[in-house]
Structure 1
Amino acid sequence: MDFPEFRVDGKVALVTGAARGLGRAISLALANAGADVAIGLRDIGEDGGLAGEITGLGRAALPLQMDMTAPGQISRAVEETLSRFGRIDILVNNAGIAPGNPAEDVTEEDFDRTLAVNLKGTFLAGQAVGRAMIRQGHGRIVNIGSQAGEVALPGESVYCMTKAAIAHLTRCLAVEWGPHGITVNNVAPTFIRTPGTAEALSDPAFEADVIERIAALHRIGEPMDVAGAVLFLVSPAASMVTGHTLVVDGGWTAR
Structure 2
Amino acid sequence: MRLAGRTALVTGATSNIGRAIAEAFAAEGAHVVVSGRSAERGAEVVDGIRARGGRADFVRADLDGGADASRALAEQATKALGGRIDVLVNNAGVFPGDTTAATDERTFDHVYAVNVKAPFFLTAAVAPAMAEAGGGAIVNLGSWVARLAVPVGALYSSTKGAVETLTRAWAAEFGPRGVRVNAISPGVVLAPAPEGAHPAAAMMRGTPAGRMGTPEAIAHAAVYLASEESSFVHGATLDVDGGRTGVAVIAA
**C-alpha offsets along residues 50-72 of structure 1, whole Å, 9 cap, x if unaligned?**
01112123232121121110433
Q: Name the TM-score, length of structure 1 as normaliser.
A: 0.90
What's the counterpart of residue 53 of structure 2? 58
1:83 matches 2:83? no
Separation in structure 2 between the aligned mates of residue 15 and residue 176 of structure 1, nearest angstrom: 22
**C-alpha offsets along residues 144-193 of structure 1, whole Å, 9 cap, x if unaligned?**
11011111122110100011111110000001101111000010001101
After TM superposition, list the pairs within 5 Å mapping 1:143-158 onto structure 2. 143-158=140-155
Aligned length in residues: 244
Segments of 4+ moved more than 6 angstroms = none
Q: Alpha carbons of 1:41 and 1:243: their partners in 2 closer, same or farther (altered >3 Å)? A: same
- Partner AA of 1:242 in structure 2: H
1:162 matches 2:125? no
After TM superposition, list the pairs within 5 Å mapping 1:1-255 onto structure 2. 7-47=2-42, 49-69=44-64, 70-84=66-80, 85-194=82-191, 202-203=198-199, 206-207=200-201, 209-213=202-206, 215-254=207-246, 255=248
Separation in structure 2 between the aligned mates of residue 44 and residue 186 of structure 1, nearest angstrom: 27
2:43–2:58 CA contact under 8 A, matched in 1 = no
Q: Name the TM-score, length of structure 2 as normaliser.
A: 0.91
Task: After superposing the two structures, state which structure 1 stretch, 18-27 or 48-57, moved more.
Answer: 48-57
Unaligned runs of 5+ in 2: none
Unaligned runs of 5+ in 1: 1-5
Separation in structure 1 between the aligned mates of residue 131 and residue 101 of structure 2, nearest angstrom: 43
2:188–2:204 CA contact under 8 A, matched in 1 = no
What is the deviation of 1:210?
1.7
**C-alpha offsets along residues 61-110 of structure 1, whole Å, 9 cap, x if unaligned?**
12112111043332122112222311110000000111111111111111
What is the deviation of 1:198?
10
CA-based RMSD:
1.9
Percentage identity across aligned positions? 37
